[in-house]
Amino acid sequence: MATSKEIVVSGIRSTGYLHLGNYFGAIRNYIRMQETFNCYFFVADWHSLTTHPDPKDLRANVFRVLAENIASGLDPEKVALYVQSDVPEIAELYLLLNMMAYKGELEKVPTFKDKVRLQPENVNAGLLTYPVLMSADILIHRAVKVPVGKDQEQHLEMARNYAQRFNKRYGELFPEPVAFNFGDDLIKIPSLDGTGKMSKSENQMATLYLADTDDLIRNKLKKAKSDSGPAEPGAPMSDAVTNLFLLMEQVSTPDVIKHFRDTYDNQTIRYGDMKKQLGDDMVNFIAPIREKALALQNDPAYLNRIMKEGAEKARESAAQTLQQARKLIGIHYY
């Protein structure tokens, strides 16, 4: 992976099923980035251990996330696609960064507060130091760009803080990573029930998963929230109808979108027809990804090879960073 291209790092937790929000909010950017940058994309299995998944589920989830990313367009020949736990250097950097992380700042992280509220019986140290491990994931490759959404910006700010602290205390090693998404506004795919964005775990009937069957996709869209129609020509759209059009803009042709916008403006729109068209177009979009991902999951030898090759690329980069970090700190005795 030695190259003069700028380094990009991003990961996705190995929990739940990838959905349309993951695709348009992250994976689509990954596919663009692989053509321009030196990319390290990983499955964050250590992060998922904070919620204690069943070992059988963890293995299946890792394989599925890898398969769905490849099926969506990630090319393992162009990027380092690996599993977090296959790169032990990350764990050592995580240990070193923990020496510069403080209990007070970690307790103030909004996502930690949320986890404490949601799982009060499982407030483990991994939850508290989650941003430190995330920082290690990024800094181990000395990334300069990280594709993250709004909800992860504070974690990225903490990665910059740890880079600054290390550089000031021991000497320059880490660049300060910045959020990057080609200058575009990140698309947040709305939940079909109008209660926020799509989620891996919340209200599965309001989320379109990349593994959904054709019939399930159509059924979910058929039940998607809409309204009683515009009260007058050119009336502002309700949030629910705006969401339907946002989905249509991602998967339908311009002439289809124009047709339904025109019928909305002249008050002749039939939401049943719109949802049927959207269902057909969504099936045409998701089905090829689903089928390819299933085929990949049925070829564990291929996925094992991809994981091993990705780990080799990632460990080559990580080992260089860790060797320099140890030397600067003084853990360099012979």
Q: Are 132 and 153 in contact (CB under 8 A)?
A: no
Amino acid at position 273, single letter: D
Which parts of the chain are beta strand (E)?
A: 7-13, 38-44, 80-83, 145-146, 178-179
Which parts of 14-128 are beta strand (E)?
A: 38-44, 80-83
Rounded distance between C-alpha atoms, residue 10 and residue 44, angstroms: 9
- Phi/psi for 198 (5° steps) reads -60, 150
Q: Active site residue: 115, 145, 220, 313, which one?
A: 115
Please say if 197 is a catalytic residue: yes
Please give the C-alpha separations between residue 158 and each of 98, 167, 280, in angstroms, as whole numbers.
Answer: 12, 14, 43
Which residues, including other chains, have CB under 8 Å from residue 54's CB and lie 6 or more apart?
A: none
Please say if 225 is a catalytic residue: no
Amino acid at position 148, single letter: V
- Phi/psi for 82 (5° steps) reads -145, 170
Tokens of 34: 């692989």
Q: Determine how many CB atoms are found less than 10 A away from the CB of residue 183.
A: 5
Phi-psi region of 183 (alpha: psi -120 to 50; beta: other; left: phi over 0): left
Please say if 200 is a catalytic residue: yes
Q: Determine how many CB atoms are found less than 10 A away from the CB of residue 149.
A: 15
Please give the C-alpha separations between residue 34 and each of 9, 77, 319, in angstroms, as whole numbers.
Answer: 11, 10, 22
Q: Active site residue: 145, 197, 220, 275, which one?
A: 197
Q: Active site residue: 103, 145, 168, 200, which one?
A: 200
Torsion angle of alpha carbons 137, 299, 297, 7, nearest 10°? 20
Q: Are 160 and 176 in contact (CB under 8 A)?
A: yes
Catalytic residues: 115, 197, 200
